[in-house]
Amino acid sequence: MTILLAGDVGGTKTILRLVQAEQTDSARLPSLKTLYEHTYSSRDFPDLVPMVRLFMDQAKDVIGEVPLPESACFGIAGPVVHNASKLTNLGWVLQVEDLQRSLQIPLVTLINDFAAVGYGVLALPPEDICTLRSGQPDPTGAIAIIGAGTGLGQGYVIPQRVGYRVFATEGGHTDFSPRSELEYQLLRFLKERYDLRRVSVERVVSGMGIESIYLFMRSRGGAKESPEMAEIFQTWQQETGKEEKTVDLPSAISRHAQNNRDYLCQETMNLFVRAYGAEAGNLALKLLPYGGVYIAGGIAAKNLPLIQQGDFLEAFDDKGRVSKAIAQIPVHVVLNPRVGLLGSALCAAQLQN
């Protein structure tokens, strides 16, 4: 048995988890048992080291002994270059060698938070997954991950003889490709409103994308805004540029769309879901991930009824003469919001191999 430390490090909050891992001969992945977990406000600490030290003290009180992790992995909401990462919103500078020395943990690694999601999808139990299409999975095939949230993450997983290799990409910054006259109008709207030479797919398939699509739909004047949504939108406009906000516009739009309370919100989310499905299908074409496509990120799980209604898979499969190449690829929605933390634990376990 091995004791591991996993972390999901973000600009607002950081979640730390102490894990006991046990490798069995019959399974490619180790079994993981959570010993202790706690969430901290990232801004309450000058660095990750004092946070981890506090966590260890608290864990000792719970499990009755001083935890001695043999390895640790921290998923970082930002780029990791040469075993180091700078969290812009916090001013933290994390370096693997410093963490190993200060925390006295022999093996430490830093990975991008979406790479952590890539590890995490491998160990999700059935109840943490909603399958849109079972397809014909190949256990030796590549796995694709795409996740819309604040931005649009994309990555892939390659099975190895022992464990897996996970690769993050910058696929969310590829060009947005309109598929209908309405989407061409959206492209022109985004270029003009934000003075852009090109529009990335992330500007459409993300939380800010939902905002932008709503602004576009509203500008067309074809669908009336409900009084409740009009009030929410007015408050959102007044709070633009402020640090403290009372309105989460994308959440309000998706909530009203799911409750059938606002036609403009429904049209917004319909366009969003089609664009999301199309981009997931584009990723599938590039990778041919016969191990499956996993839709991660908070938006899909929170809008599951809209994703399940059919437009997502229809757009996913609509690839002209090569549609058959991806028609049997399994497609799943990740429901577990802690998937990145689970992935960090699996990555820490793999450091032992």
Nearest CA to 67 among 94, 39, 104, 109? 104
Return the domain boundaries, the chain. 2-121+337-350, 172-334
Pair type for strands 292-296 and 143-148: parallel
**347: confidence class by pLDDT, cuts 50, 70, 90:** very high
Tell the CATH topology of 172-334.
Answer: Hexokinase; domain 1 (3.40.367)
pLDDT digits (tens, 9 = 90+) for 164-194: 889 888 899 999 999 999 999 999 999 999 9
d(CA 21, CA 187): 48
DSSP-based three-state secondary structure for 153: strand
Topology match between the domains 2-121+337-350 and 172-334: no
pLDDT beyond 60 at 26: no
pLDDT tens-place string over residues 215-261? 999 999 867 889 999 999 999 999 888 878 899 999 999 999 999 88
pLDDT of 96 over the 60 cut = yes
Mean pLDDT (the chain) is 93
* Predicted confidence band of residue 353 (pLDDT cuts 50, 70, 90): low
Residue 351 pLDDT grade (very low, low, confident, very high; cuts 50, 70, 90): confident
Threshold 0.85, pTM exceeds: yes
For residue 98, what pLDDT is reported? Answer: 96
Strand 13-22 vs strand 31-41: parallel, antiparallel, or unpaired?
antiparallel
Q: Over 90: is that where the pLDDT of 60 sits?
A: yes
CA nearest to 143, candidates 337, 28, 280, 308: 280
Q: Could you give the C-alpha distances from 288 to 50, 115, 146, 186, 315, in angstroms and in order?
A: 44, 19, 14, 29, 16
For the chain, give me the number of helices (H) and strands (E)?
Answer: 12, 13
Is 3.30.420.40 the CATH classification of the domain at 2-121+337-350? yes
- For residue 27, name the pLDDT band (cuts at 50, 70, 90): low
Q: 155 φ, ψ to 5°? A: -165, 180
DSSP for 46-59, please give it: SSHHHHHHHHHHHH
